[in-house]
Structure 1
Amino acid sequence: MSSPAIKLLTASVVLCFGCASFAANQTINTDLVVVGAGSAGLSAAVQGAELGKKVVLLEKNPYVGGNSQHAEGLFAVDSEWNRLRSDPLTRQQAYEAFIKKQNHLVDPYKNKDFVEGSGENISWLASHGIEFEVRRETPDKDNTWHIIKNYKGTNHGAGLIKGMKDAADKLGVTTMVSTPATDLITKDGKVVGVVAKDAKGNTYTINSKAVILASGSFGDDPQKVKEWGHRDPEGWKSSVPINKTGDGIVMATKIGAERGPVSFIGHLGTEGKGIKFLSNLYAVSWQPFNLWVNSDGQRFTDESTSNAFSEAANGIYAQHDHYGWAIFDTNTIDYCMTKGIDSGIGVLVPVGTQLKNLQQDIKDALAVDSDGFKEADSIAELAKKINVPAKNLEATVAEYNKTCELQHDPMFLKDRRYLKPINGKKYYALKLKSYFFSAYGGLVTNRQHQVLDTHHKPIPGLYAAGLEVSNMVGPTYPDFFSGHAFGFASYSGRHAAINAAETMK
């Protein structure tokens, strides 16, 4: 497969990396280059190595993992784990529901392949020592969420990354961190490698038979969020900034790749002085029993939309200046502290978590006069503090309380389980904003995960996987099937490697 000289060179890369810098303008020869070491890139690297290919894995950050480190579980249906639970959802039902709910604005073939192969993909990951369990995230979602339960004492996305990195190391994958790819190398219209540059300024020409782009999407570049995603980056912010700036997409379009539609894995949340991410006070912003109002002091949606976090982000973003307020009272605080929350933030803050520190969080936010949280003795006073018309807010609260009394919401048809009146001793407002975990999309690929050019033809030698791939989701991320992005990242990385290896025969 490789000459002794190439084997020696590759071995020297493994031995020397981390202990001494390479000489400037180093040349490396390999079979497969994978750009990006998140779950898509690591899955591609491991699968490629299992198929007997020499693999070089590049990562621009000083660590592997990407967004996947912060993920929790992968989508799968009809998996062995589903079978043992007698979960009723079938692959055909999942596929049909997904296509319809995405308004057919997706690639039917790649989505069909993904749904059909999702269970096998979990089994492949499990064969590397990763343990799973299936959970249902909210009442609105199906049993597709395969949580990483454990890998050598580490769980969730970090466990999968650790497991795949261990597998890559055992298989002899050459991993180079702090070494982003900067350009694709082409010859006679075919991609034959990449140019990379490390943090010390050393440049590498890496010759290969195929390249898989798996560097994530572009969400940490506000200008691309505005130009490619058509969103105001001030009102639509990245909540997990890890230096994802669309590098793979840019490199591919430089050589004639077609840039495809993009989406976002949106979610609701809050911010402001004295409010910490994932704190008890932050968790209140996700609760379906709050009353949501916009800057006019009027309701704008069924607040239990918070159970579908990506849809909730859309509803908030659609308001003037892209924000709203969650209104609640002392009864809500008591409920959250004693009964626990109704809507979890994934498995990081699970359903039923008792917010024991909520009173202290409130005190901390009030002590710094937080711009994102206000307290008042009356609705009129609260309206003044959040700068909404008092008459409107008083009317909205009165109408909402009547709705709660009747246990019927004629305007938005909110689930009556979440209809709780706002009539406590004190009143509170928590600012609602729209965020996203990651952008999704950028490059158009075919069923074999080959990147397509502007004439919709495959670019030989170039593949893409994970969140760089367009047309896997529509304008709104499908969180009704939990773990879709994480699942597709691993699945597409593997299958891009399988297809790339097949062309090398």
Structure 2
Amino acid sequence: MKKLSIILFSVMLTLSLLVTPAGAAVMSLEAGTYSGNGEGMNGTIEVKVTVAKDEITNIEVVSENETDGMTDAVFEKIPEDILAYQSLAVDAVSGATFASKGLLAAVTDALKKAGADVDFLKNKKIEKKAAKKIEDRTTNVVVIGGGNAGLAAAVTASDQGADVILLEKMPMLGGNSIRAGGAYNAVDPERQKEQGIEDSVERHFYHTYTGGDKEGKIKLIYTLVDNANKGIDWLESMGMGFEDEIFTVLGALWPRSHAPSEPVGNGFINTMRDQAEKNGVEILLNTKAEELITEDGRVVGVKASTEDGNFEIRASQGVVMAAGGFAANVEMRKKYNPLLDEKTKTTNHPGATGDGIVMAEKVDADLVGMEYIQSLPLGDPKTGSLKGWAGMSVENYIFVNKNGERFVSESDRRDVMTNALIDQPDSFMYIVCDAHSMPAGSKNSFNETIEELVAKGKTLKAMTIKGLAEKMNVDPEAFAQTIEKYNKAVETGDDEFGKTLFDKKLNKPPYYASPRVPTAHHTMGGIKINSDTQVIDTDGNVIPGFFAAGEVTGGIHGTNRLGGNALPDTIVFGRIAGEAVVKNSPAEIK
């Protein structure tokens, strides 16, 4: 178990003012403390709920195994709201639906034991305060978005002496960055040399440029690949750790992917959040940027809203847009690629809805490559999530369809692999690996042990190839021939599908198979920028005071993003934006 957390919330007398009179009259409970359980994303959530005769007085989260950073707000806000409103009709936390449902189920379980009228509590209306005008603010720099790019910009600008306010519409920092597997591509002579890997900035440029069908802007690509390793140095200087072993994440085309020491994207977010707080950056969660403020053609601030009201922030230096992409916005996806409709799930967090692109368009920013939306062949069949599968480096797993056969090179481009998967029966496959890739106790890129994956039914396990075929419900003979052919290709380097990256044969039990489907993943298009992250308008001119970084921008990856290139994109251009917003400002920092 990841951790045991004890979180206590007590009802203060003033909170009783928020309870509707009907609620006070109907509530009838057997005073005492009761235990309850519910199922979250990663296991059981256990609570203890204390009640008096006519109110819920305390909620204690005894244990949970959800993802740090992504679900912290669940265990703060939901108990707080239940106590404040004396109701179970409270909102789930955006971006953490499964954890929210699991916690509410656990509290409901406990309240049933206390004799509560659960149906009443679930349907009890909550009377919230009407929104009001909040006092306007002034600062040097406003950053919109609390993922990697936004935090990198905020830290860098504050390092330059700027006063920075960061707005994040979700209840937690991280965006898509914290959901990522953590793979970070960079040419790293010191680490790569230890493994006998030859690489160069020029080779990384070539892979990125040609991997995007030469549609990416040359200067932007070179800026990315030339500064990627400097981004690692910068993160390490703030205390973030990276593993020494270089690997090849799916679709990276070359072994230059770095794994963070802290699971998934947590290390990036935690490291930069801590530094931002040390630098005095003011981080406003649950605060949505609604509209950019312009004067005489210059972006000078932001109109924002919270649950409590609306306000403006004036930024003397400028605004950095880092609000992410739009893969979670079905209508926007369909506008640019009609094939990615409601039937296609997404790996993205629910806040990735393209708000920043819409705001930028309204101040005449140009857009580029909006039709280039990347799907992955790695989605959970039920949720679309990237989590839940066994296998690490491309060299040590294969893709197998419902006929027990391979159908594509596992070292190919992501769009090639996804399109090949779409053409398979039911657009469904298994990722197959063995104990070479996932020895006992090992974890995947999402901090899930192989034992947990098997126990949850996310991954099938067998001690023989035939036994695995039976669990996969594929033809055992066809599957055995597939494994035999692949192992022969590992020996000779001559693969029928053109795979070029190999390590070990698939011959070490136990064997594993994880079901996967296509899922919408990364939007390569967005706001047009130059290599200084200045936003370009539809006439080709710089928009003064306006900068952008991360997935909200376009023009870097072309038609297809290499696996492992997203995180360096956010760090490299986030840092540039944080420096540029200060350097290019007409106002002096006070």
Range into which the TM-score falls when normalised by the shorter chain: 0.7 to 0.9
Shift of the alpha carbon at 1:184? 0.4
Please tell me whether the aligned partners of residues 388 and 458 of structure 2 are also in contact (alpha carbons under 8 angstroms): no
1:265 & 1:232 partners in 2: Cα distance?
Answer: 10
Shift of the alpha carbon at 1:84? 7.2
Counterpart check, 1:158 vs 2:266: yes
State the partner residue of 2:215: 105
Correspondence list, 1:24-423, <5 A: 24-71=133-180, 72-78=182-188, 81=191, 87-138=197-248, 141-149=253-261, 154-262=262-370, 263-269=372-378, 271-272=380-381, 278-279=387-388, 288-292=397-401, 301-302=407-408, 304-305=409-410, 311-318=416-423, 323-326=427-430, 336=434, 340-341=437-438, 347-348=445-446, 358=454, 361=457, 412-413=497-498
Shift in alpha-carbon separation, 1:278–1:112, aligned structure 2, 3 A: closer
**One-letter amino acid of the structure 1 residue matched with residue 135 of structure 2:** Q
1:114 & 1:196 partners in 2: Cα distance?
Answer: 31
Please tell me whether the aligned partners of residues 287 and 341 of structure 1 are also in contact (alpha carbons under 8 angstroms): no
For structure 1, the 5+ residue unaligned runs are 1-17, 366-374, 384-392, 422-427
TM-score by length of 2: 0.63
Q: Alignment partner for residue 448 of structure 1, among 521, 532, 542? A: 532
Q: Alignment partner for residue 461 of structure 1, among 529, 545, 550? A: 545
**One-letter amino acid of the structure 1 residue matched with residue 258 of structure 2:** H
1:133 alignment partner, SS class: coil
Measured against aligned partners, the alpha-carbon deviations of 1:105-154 in whole angstroms (never above 9, x if no partner) come to 101001111211222222222221222234333397434323322xxxx5
1:58 & 1:276 partners in 2: Cα distance?
Answer: 26
**One-letter amino acid of the structure 2 residue matched with residue 477 of structure 1:** R
1:275 & 1:58 partners in 2: Cα distance?
Answer: 27
**One-letter amino acid of the structure 2 residue matched with residue 498 of structure 1:** E
Deviates more, 1:311-320 or 1:204-213: 311-320
1:170 & 1:252 partners in 2: Cα distance?
Answer: 30
Please tell me whether the aligned partners of residues 288 and 418 of structure 1 are also in contact (alpha carbons under 8 angstroms): no
Shift of the alpha carbon at 1:103? 2.3
State the partner residue of 1:475: 559
CA RMSD of aligned residues (A): 4.4
Shift in alpha-carbon separation, 1:122–1:281, aligned structure 2, 3 A: closer
1:118 & 1:362 partners in 2: Cα distance?
Answer: 34
Please tell me whether the aligned partners of residues 67 and 242 of structure 1 are also in contact (alpha carbons under 8 angstroms): no
Please tell me whether the aligned partners of residues 264 and 446 of structure 2 are also in contact (alpha carbons under 8 angstroms): no
Q: Alignment partner for residue 568 of structure 2, among 479, 487, 490? A: 487
1:26 alignment partner, SS class: coil
Measured against aligned partners, the alpha-carbon deviations of 1:470-494 in whole angstroms (never above 9, x if no partner) come to 1111222212xxx311111011011
2:519 alignment partner, SS class: strand
2:484 & 2:184 partners in 1: Cα distance?
Answer: 41
Measured against aligned partners, the alpha-carbon deviations of 1:378-433 in whole angstroms (never above 9, x if no partner) come to 99xx68xxxxxxxxx89977986895798698863567989979xxxxxx997641
Shift of the alpha carbon at 1:339? 5.1
Deviates more, 1:429-438 or 1:175-184: 429-438
1:241 & 1:258 partners in 2: Cα distance?
Answer: 25
Please tell me whether the aligned partners of residues 32 and 54 of structure 1 are also in contact (alpha carbons under 8 angstroms): yes
Shift of the alpha carbon at 1:25? 3.7
2:235 & 2:513 partners in 1: Cα distance?
Answer: 44
1:57 alignment partner, SS class: strand
Shift in alpha-carbon separation, 1:111–1:339, aligned structure 2, 3 A: closer
**One-letter amino acid of the structure 2 residue matched with residue 471 of structure 1:** G
Shift in alpha-carbon separation, 1:354–1:78, aligned structure 2, 3 A: closer
Shift of the alpha carbon at 1:187? 0.8
Please tell me whether the aligned partners of residues 374 and 560 of structure 2 are also in contact (alpha carbons under 8 angstroms): yes
1:466 alignment partner, SS class: coil
Q: Which has the higher contact order (CA 8 A, sep 6+)?
A: 1
2:551 alignment partner, SS class: helix
Shift in alpha-carbon separation, 1:42–1:405, aligned structure 2, 3 A: closer
Shift of the alpha carbon at 1:28? 1.1
1:222 & 1:122 partners in 2: Cα distance?
Answer: 34
Shift of the alpha carbon at 1:320? 7.7
Please tell me whether the aligned partners of residues 79 and 120 of structure 1 are also in contact (alpha carbons under 8 angstroms): no
Report % sequence identity. Answer: 26
Shift of the alpha carbon at 1:440? 3.2
Measured against aligned partners, the alpha-carbon deviations of 1:437-458 in whole angstroms (never above 9, x if no partner) come to 4433311111221111112221
Shift in alpha-carbon separation, 1:275–1:502, aligned structure 2, 3 A: closer
Shift in alpha-carbon separation, 1:432–1:175, aligned structure 2, 3 A: closer
Please tell me whether the aligned partners of residues 421 and 429 of structure 2 are also in contact (alpha carbons under 8 angstroms): no
1:83 & 1:339 partners in 2: Cα distance?
Answer: 23
Shift in alpha-carbon separation, 1:377–1:446, aligned structure 2, 3 A: closer
Shift of the alpha carbon at 1:31? 1.4
State the partner residue of 1:3: none
For structure 2, the 5+ residue unaligned runs are 1-76, 78-129, 462-467
**One-letter amino acid of the structure 2 residue matched with residue 128 of structure 1:** M
2:204 alignment partner, SS class: helix
Shift in alpha-carbon separation, 1:405–1:364, aligned structure 2, 3 A: closer
2:191 & 2:485 partners in 1: Cα distance?
Answer: 42
State the partner residue of 2:112: none
Shift of the alpha carbon at 1:156? 4.2
